[in-house]
Amino acid sequence: MKIVVCVKHVPDVQSERRMEDGHLVRGEEDVLNELDENAVEAAVSLVEEHGGEVIALTMGPEDAEDALRRALQMGADSAVLVSDEALAGSDVVVTARTLAAAIRRVGGGQEGTGDVDLVVTGMASLDALTSLLPGALAAELHVPALTLAADLEVGDGDVVITRTVGAVREVLSAPLPALVSVTDQANEPRYPNFAAMRAARRKPLETWDLAALGLEPAEPSVAVLCDQERPGRAAGIIRTDAGEAGRELAAWLVENQLV
């Protein structure tokens, strides 16, 4: 099997985030998107079972190479970084278009996915949390999209997932090639040991720009019109209960139209 796993380099969720000129500042405390670790684990586990190779793919600035190195440490065989100044501020439409072109090049074909059997993504990126990319990327590649998989299996020419939607448990299948997004319930990502970290340094990592993919710069369809910091939380009200706290709380709820 030939699997491409898409990952993203995002600001650490515990770090202080800030915007400049309508863009989220990156490169200060960035890490591999935590939900993409489940995608890498799913891809590597499938190759361990069926044979083949895993190619980690990301789009971003030069620092995004760190996310790919982490994926290589977790078991990916090679990696590709798509980096171009013209891609700064890309929305999901431009991102899907660019990643699709990279997957076609990885697959050696001009249409579809070439010899890439499966594309795996996480359920969302923790910087934006839109969950739009899996569907947009599948549309660009013209392949079926099986999203929010809690379990993933590959059989003879098809892929089967299990997912939970509300109170309903669904089992879906699609012929390969296909795209699957996995949730954080799909597996427990492995923690690379020292030997895996050292081996990752010798694995191939290529950097491509838009010209290498045969693409022209495109304006994003979405723009940030304004941004402002969320105001800090005001100090709470402390009441000493002298027997009337219940009535005072009820009066406060009524006054603030919370009941």
pLDDT, one tens digit per residue, over 72-106 is 999 999 999 999 999 988 889 999 999 999 999 99
Residue 165 has what pLDDT?
86
Quick: pLDDT tens for 191-226: 999 999 999 999 999 999 999 999 999 888 877 777
- Cβ(61)–Cβ(84) under 8 Å? no
Cα separation, 259 vs 246, whole angstroms:
14
Phi, psi (degrees; rounded to nearest 5) at 151: -150, 145
For the segment 27-75, what is each residue's pLDDT rounded down to a tens digit?
566 889 899 999 999 999 999 999 999 999 999 999 999 999 999 999 9
pLDDT of residue 13: 66
pLDDT(15) > 70: no
pLDDT tens digits, one per residue of 139-190 = 999 999 999 999 999 998 999 999 998 899 999 999 999 999 999 999 999 9
pTM here is 0.83
Q: What is the pLDDT of residue 23?
A: 63
Question: What pLDDT does residue 51 have?
Answer: 95
Instruction: Report the 10 Å Cβ neighbour count for 102.
Output: 23
- Distance of alpha carbon 223 from the chain centroid: 21
Query: What is the Cα–Cα distance from 159 to 171, expressed in whole angstroms?
Result: 11
% of the chain exceeding 90 in pLDDT? 66
